[in-house]
Structures are given as structure tokens and as C-alpha cells.
Amino acid sequence: MSRHPWKIHNAEGTFRVIVTKTLPGRRWIDLLTTADCRIEVCSDSAVLDTEIIKAAIGHQCDGAIGQLTEPWGETLFDALKAAGGVAYSNYAVGYNNVDLDAATRAGIPVGNTPGVLTETTAEMAVALTFAAARHVGEAERFLRAGRYTGWLPDLFLGTLLHGKTLGIIGAGRIGAAYARMMVQGHGMQVIYHDLAANTDLESFVADYNRFRVSQHLPPVVCRRAASVETLLETADCVSIHTVLDDATRHLIDARRLTLMKPDAILINTSRGPVVDEVALVDHCRRHPDFRAGLDVFENEPKMAHGLAELTNVVIVPHIASATRWTREGMATLAACNVAGILSKYPLWQRPDILPFLEKDPPHAIPSIVNAKALGLSGQGGLDVKFK
């Protein structure tokens, strides 16, 4: 197939499905096997380029599961279509690496894996927030280097977040979950910016305030900001949870960084290119009290020059969704997307996808992001064409 190692499961399966990375757990393999799939998995940790994936698709391939690190565009979807393919799933909730128009032109449904990353990613945003606010990375390096000689009154003085103002850019499922964690755990005020009002989040905070008042605690505020600029000027900590598209690329640039408080905290667990990384490096150098926590980077796996050396930036290697439950759940959903299409199941019509993680998953396809463009509905099986 290629110089990269590939492992085969259920070699006698009728449908051939390629998977460009080894996925956690075993259940996803069992689900594809039950759907009578021959599963070919690349066990190399290197990112596969387009030509290698195209060669892996070959002349006969019914479906594929790919990664957010791979550019799935016209070349690959045309190759998949030419090989008789009818199914693709991204092993991610986001799909900015996928050219949906190209997939739609090729008639290929594109699946993703929503609903299992929410709490996990929000927890990582919380972890980065406090790691940045309390100098955790810097203090650990200090200690491991043998530089700690005893307690001092002014050693690594951080920021108290309790009661401060939290800014959320993108108040979808993950942003709202992060807000709830910070409101309940730390009594933070919330200002958020989103294209639409998140009335569920606002109602949650209103309900929570009734409890706070009953405990003789001051109520907290949750309000929508009219602009990103207003949010940046107001918040003590800003966490980004937006999608990546033309409107959000470099949403946080040099100009907007200057609007933030000089000792503010910026957290990004969404997509790297939402932040102008070069501008961030310059801003952090010029404002030593400003802090950032990053799980994603503009040109992964590379980082902007100087970023890794900044002591006021906490960096982790894109692990926001890295809990075993979540990553295995993502694998299950990706497999259910492909297996469901090949089995001609209908689309799932409920927002809750957790039934797919139970012992007997529904005979349905969890999530197809270009379903409307393809004219697909939840009634009956998908009208896919087989060789």
C-alpha cells in the first residue's frame, strides 16, 4: 500500500475502509467489523500527506476515517469517489480541515464526532486558566531545576480569579460548559460574545444566582457583549471557543490584544489560527504580566518563533480532548458514521449522541455535517451508490 505500516482487521470483510491513524480502544473496530468492513489502519504516528492517503485509497475503497491534521479536499474526495467510496468521517468535532464543497460535489457524506468533547475540552480550558493564573508551569520548572530554597512571601505571586470577570468568545457547548464550571466553582462574572444569545446559559446563571442568594452570596452576572472589543476591554480572563473560518482567522490580532488588560489571561482550546501567534509572542514579551494558556497553535506542530521560551505562556500539545472516555467515544462515533452509511441507516435525529456509546448503539448515523447540502434526511436509509 505504501512505505507506512498498515494493520488489517477483519480481512474478509465486504467493505474496505481505511483509517489513517490508530484510534483508541477496540469498540470502533468491532462496530466496523459488525458492518462487514475490512479495516486497514495506518499505525504510523507521522501525519500522512495527500498523496499517501490517495495511494491508500487505491482503486477500491468504500469509506475512510481521517484526522484533523490531514487536508481532505478535492483530490482525496475525488479519489474516494473514483474508488467507489461513499463514506468519510473526520475523527474530530471540528472539520475545518475538510473541504465540504468538494465532498458534496463528490456526493460523499462527511461525518464528525460531536457531543463527547464538551466537558473534557472545557476541563482543559479550566486547567490552562489556573495554570496560567498561578504560574504552574514556571513554578514546576523552577522546582525541578533545583532552584527552590524555601518559602518566600513573594515567590510566584499569581492572580486570584474568584469573582473576576470571565470573557467567553464562542458560547457554544464547550464555551458554555467552561462558563458554568467557572461560575459555579469560582463565582466569576461572565461576559460572552456569540452570533446568537445563549439563553440556556443565561437561564442557568439566573437559576444559580437564586442558590447563591440563599447562601448569602452575591449574585453573578451573565451578559452578552455586543462586540469582541467590548469583551476584551472588560474581561480579566478571555477563553476562546469559536469555530475556525474566514471570519475568525486571526480574530485575536495585535490590535485586539492591545485592548485587553495588561495583566489579563488569554486561553485558546479552539483552533490555533484564531490567534495571530506572532502578535501574541510580541504582546507577551512587552507585557510580562499578561499570561496565556494554549492547547492549539497556528501552524501545528510548529510554534511561532520565541513562543516556547516565554515564561508567561503555558503550552500543551493539543490534548484538550485527551481523556480515554472522550477519545474512545470519538472513535466510536466515527465508526458509527461510516458503518451507518454503508449499512444504509437513517440519520440520527436527536441532539444527544450518547446512546451510540452504549452497548447496543442505535441503527442510525450519528452526525453528517453536509447532510443538508446532499439533500439527506432522517427518513429511511441513505441513498448511497455501491459498486
CA atoms within 13 A on the CB side of 110: 27
Q: Please say if the pLDDT value at position 353 is more than 90.
A: yes
pLDDT in tens, 277-303: 999 999 999 999 999 999 999 999 999
For residue 32, give the nearest of 47, 11, 46, 51 by alpha carbon.
11
Specify whether the backbone of 10 is left (phi greater than 0), alpha (psi in -120 to 50) or beta.
Answer: left
In angstroms and rounded to an integer, the radius of gyration of the C-alpha atoms of the chain is 23
The pLDDT, as a whole number, for residue 380 is 47
The pLDDT, as a whole number, for residue 286 is 98
Q: Please say if the pLDDT value at position 381 is more than 90.
A: no
The pLDDT, as a whole number, for residue 2 is 53
Query: Mean pLDDT score of the chain, rounded to an integer?
Result: 95
Q: What is the CATH number of domain 118-315?
A: 3.40.50.720
- Greater confidence, 4 or 11? 11
Q: Please say if the pLDDT value at position 262 is more than 50.
A: yes
The pLDDT, as a whole number, for residue 279 is 98
Percentage of residues in the chain with pLDDT exceeding 90?
95
* Domain ranges across the chain: 6-116+323-374, 118-315
The pLDDT, as a whole number, for residue 387 is 34
Q: Find out if CATH 3.40.50.2300 is the number for domain 6-116+323-374.
A: no
pLDDT in tens, 150-206: 999 999 999 999 999 999 999 999 999 999 999 999 999 999 999 999 999 999 999
Q: Please say if the pLDDT value at position 342 is more than 60.
A: yes
Cα–Cα distances in Å, from 367 out to 5, 66, 174, 292, 349?
30, 15, 18, 33, 9
Banded pLDDT at 377 (limits 50, 70, 90):
confident
Please write down the HEC assignment for all residues of 68-93: CCCCECHHHHHHHHHCCCCEEEECCC
Banded pLDDT at 386 (limits 50, 70, 90):
very low
Mean pLDDT on 87-108: 96
Looking at the DSSP bridge assignments, the partners of residue 88 are 64, 110
List active site positions. 271, 300, 318
Query: What are the cell numbers at 7?
Result: 494493520
The pLDDT, as a whole number, for residue 141 is 97
Mean pLDDT on 110-130: 97
CA atoms within 13 A on the CB side of 175: 28
For residue 48, give the nearest of 24, 78, 68 by alpha carbon.
68
Single-letter residue type at 352: D
Burial of 3 from C-beta contacts in 10 A (0-12 / 13-18 / 19+): exposed
Mean pLDDT on 117-126: 97
Q: Do domains 6-116+323-374 and 118-315 have the same CATH topology?
A: yes
Banded pLDDT at 75 (limits 50, 70, 90):
very high
The pLDDT, as a whole number, for residue 376 is 86
Q: Is the pTM of this model over 0.85?
A: yes
